[in-house]
Chain A
Amino acid sequence: MSERFLVEAVNDALHVEMERDSSVMVMGEDVGVLGGVFRATAGLQERFGADRCVDTPLAEAGILGTAVGLCMAGWRPVCEMQYDAFSYPALDQLINHVGRYRWRTRGGMEFPLTIRMPYGGGVRAPELHDDSPETYYVHTPGVKVAIPSTPADAKGLLAAAIRDPDPVVVLEPKLYYRAAKEEVPDGEHVVPLGQARIAREGSDLTIVAYGAMVHVALAAAEAVGDEASCEVLDLRSLKPLDEDGLLASVVKTGRVVVVQEAPRVCGFAAEVVAVLAERAIFDLRGPVIRVTGYDVPYPYWQIEDAYMPSVERVVDAVRRVLSA
């Protein structure tokens, strides 16, 4: 075990996986000499050379498009998108090819690529450095999505993504890149996709969250205090979704608040609520309430705190469910 920041755990995972498998390569803007704008890829080019840690042209669709061809040539590319909102040009490749090519070849070819990017707000950044784009990815057939909230999961989920035979998008909560050092297993560490984690045990209500919002959910559970015993379920992976883990928690508590940073309409919280409506309606003892970003463009940073789901908003939602 070593104490590491979340971004250091990402870096550790890349070192370990590149050491373990010589077909793993890292590519992206400024990932080589600079080691990434957040230093997530620091030291990789020195260690593995410029052919396996590649500084690419500033072209996100080109990064993902050539990564498809690299897979066909036998590589396992790990593509860094420098920021959440900068990944949108690559959606064409993601939707039309990354998610379809395996199916299109009837399983003849695999596309074990990973796309990783820092996501989310609260970092006082210029416009379009703050998005939570997970819905676009989760909605794309053929693509899996993981979002860690802790340093250990950041390492383990990224390792799982790199080893997975399917394309996986990993969103890393940049607000927590260097928030706190936590224990991270040394060497090989894999957290399987599709296994949610109980971040806090409770019996009266489940707060479902992922990524940065797990921290808000935990703070809200504390703030609720003796009013209710809140469980916090960290989904960790949105696809595959750990429906059994979700249902087990809801059977126990009967009350649910779902928190997501992304705008509300058709966001992943809506999917969680739909799963509960289909599979847990008779276990529920009250309405399921979503706490999400608002359906507006992510705002200027002087007022971004008013947009972000806050501890106060989550506590308010918990009280509404409890009193219903």
Chain B
Amino acid sequence: MIRVLPVEGDLRRVIGDGEKIPDGEVDGLGADELLALHRNLVLLRTYDERSVIYHRQGRIGTYAIFWNHEAMQVGSVFALADRDWIFPAYRESAIGLLRGMPVSTVLSWWRGHPAGWWNPRDFNVASICVPIATQVPHAVGFAWGSRLKGEDRVALTLFGDGATSEGAFHEAATFAGVMKAPVVLFCNNNYWAISTPLSKQTAAETLVAKAAGYGIPGVRVDGGDVLAVYEATRDAVERARTGDGPTFIEAVSYRAAPHATADDPSLYVDAERVEEERENECVGRYERYLRRLGVLTDGHAEAVRSEALELMRAGIAAAEAEPPADPSLVFEHAYADPPPSQARDLAELKRILGT
């Protein structure tokens, strides 16, 4: 039984506040699934917090923080089958962990080491996309192309509020609507694009309003509510699978951490609002919900956290144990069938390096 509570207009919520707003529940999720969601949330939270520390220790490079975005990533991916594909942006750099990608792979990516560059087919997770919104047409094309081949695969792509200002988003959403692509366009609206607030990003009242312009159904959910995100994505995936085409999901959240390790948000954020949001962050909210349900015990929570920390310790050790990258990888894989000049360039590099 889904209970959708009207908060901030049509914002869908399942998790209550333990006081005035009652808890709902999502049909089909038993204790095992609820705890699996919890484990995934803790895994990503631990990944994110440890990564900031690893950066400060000089063990990884600049890192894009996703603290308080875990519910959006975990909830949406939980609604997919393993054969469905994920097209992430850099804010979802560790989303592959939800598909069994090793921690060391993602850390290697942030270490600029070739071991961090995976084959998307191994996890059905496309490469981390850095240029904003440019992965959205890939997801649409993949979904459309899969449907043309008669393959039952849905694509989920995640992007931020700023991405909806990009031409790539506009063209991709246009294609998705026209081609009836089985794709879920998942916008994590965290109100900030580095220092630019949503009010300067768009004059639209909500981002979900944009969906109408593409002839795509839109849903607005509480992005800090992992169950609401899951339930909305599950509906969207179901629509996609049954041939009804794309859905736009606006998950409303708040970026309660810097954009990245190189960012200084003290120059632009409202510190009070950030404090408020941090107190209501998505992992804690879900843990309180599970405790109210009687599903989560202190012992289990502690065990899950230890397990995640151990994965991170092993992951950074494995990433740091990677042998130095072979400079010939500068050339390898740029072409399947490289121009002849490349062999000369490689020979020159080897001569200069004395290898």
CB distance from B113 to the nearest CB of A (A): 12
Q: How many interface residues does A have (CB within 8 Å)?
A: 45
Given the known interface contacts A57-B171, A96-B131, the answer about A239 and B137 at a Cβ–Cβ threshold of 8 Å is: no
8 additional contacts (CB under 8 A) given A66-B138, A72-B142? A62-B168, A68-B138, A68-B141, A75-B145, A102-B333, A105-B127, A239-B339, A240-B340
A118 sits at the interface (CB 8 A): no
Stretch binding the partner chain, chosen from A106-114, A121-129, A148-156? A106-114
Question: Are A75 and B148 in contact, CB atoms less than 8 angstroms apart?
Answer: yes
B204 sits at the interface (CB 8 A): no
Q: How far apart are the CA atoms of A179 and B329 in the complex, in Å?
A: 46
Question: Are B117 and A66 in contact, CB atoms less than 8 angstroms apart?
Answer: no
CB distance from B346 to the nearest CB of A (A): 14
Question: Are A70 and B145 in contact, CB atoms less than 8 angstroms apart?
Answer: yes
CB within 8 Å of B: which of A191-244? Answer: 194, 239-241, 243
What A residues does B174 contact at CB under 8 A?
57, 59, 62
Closest residue on chain B to residue A73 by CB atoms:
B145
Q: Which of B137, B179, B329, B334 lies in contact with A142, CB distance below 8 A?
A: B334
What B residues does A105 contact at CB under 8 A?
117-120, 127, 333
Q: How far apart are the CA atoms of A93 and B146 in the complex, in Å?
A: 20
CB distance from B216 to the nearest CB of A (A): 14
Q: Which of A25, A59, A92, A240 lies in contact with B175, CB distance below 8 A?
A: A59
CB within 8 Å of B: which of A60-90? Answer: 61-62, 64-75, 89
Question: Are B134 and A65 in contact, CB atoms less than 8 angstroms apart?
Answer: yes
- Chain B residues at the A interface, C-beta cutoff of 8 Å: 85, 114, 117-122, 126-127, 130-131, 134, 136-146, 148-149, 151, 153, 155, 167-168, 170-172, 174-175, 178-179, 329, 332-337, 339-341
Given the known interface contacts A104-B127, A106-B117, the answer about A72 and B145 at a Cβ–Cβ threshold of 8 Å is: yes
A165 sits at the interface (CB 8 A): yes
Q: List 5 A-B contacts (CB under 8 A).
A: A71-B141, A73-B142, A73-B144, A93-B137, A144-B335
Question: Are B145 and A69 in contact, CB atoms less than 8 angstroms apart?
Answer: yes
Q: Which of B120, B136, B170 lies in contact with A109, CB distance below 8 A?
A: B120
Question: Are B335 and A62 in contact, CB atoms less than 8 angstroms apart?
Answer: no
Q: How far apart are the CA atoms of A125 and B85 in the complex, in Å?
A: 44
What B residues does A240 contact at CB under 8 A?
339-341
Closest residue on chain A to residue B157 by CB atoms:
A69
CB distance from A146 to the nearest CB of B (A): 12
Q: Which of B136, B141, B178 lies in contact with A70, CB distance below 8 A?
A: B141
Closest residue on chain A to residue B87 by CB atoms:
A69
Closest residue on chain A to residue B329 by CB atoms:
A106
Given the known interface contacts A59-B171, A61-B171, the answer about A166 and B336 at a Cβ–Cβ threshold of 8 Å is: yes
Question: Are B341 and A241 in contact, CB atoms less than 8 angstroms apart?
Answer: yes
CB distance from B87 to the nearest CB of A (A): 8
Question: Are A243 and B141 in contact, CB atoms less than 8 angstroms apart?
Answer: no
A101 sits at the interface (CB 8 A): yes
Question: Are B337 and A57 in contact, CB atoms less than 8 angstroms apart?
Answer: no
Q: Which of B141, B336, B341 lies in contact with A72, CB distance below 8 A?
A: B141
Q: Mark A24-67, 1 if CB is under 8 A from B, else 0.
A: 01000000000000000000000000010000110101101111
CB distance from A109 to the nearest CB of B (A): 6
What A residues does B144 contact at CB under 8 A?
66, 69-70, 73
Question: Are A194 and B119 in contact, CB atoms less than 8 angstroms apart?
Answer: no
Q: How far apart are the CA atoms of A104 and B120 in the complex, in Å?
A: 10
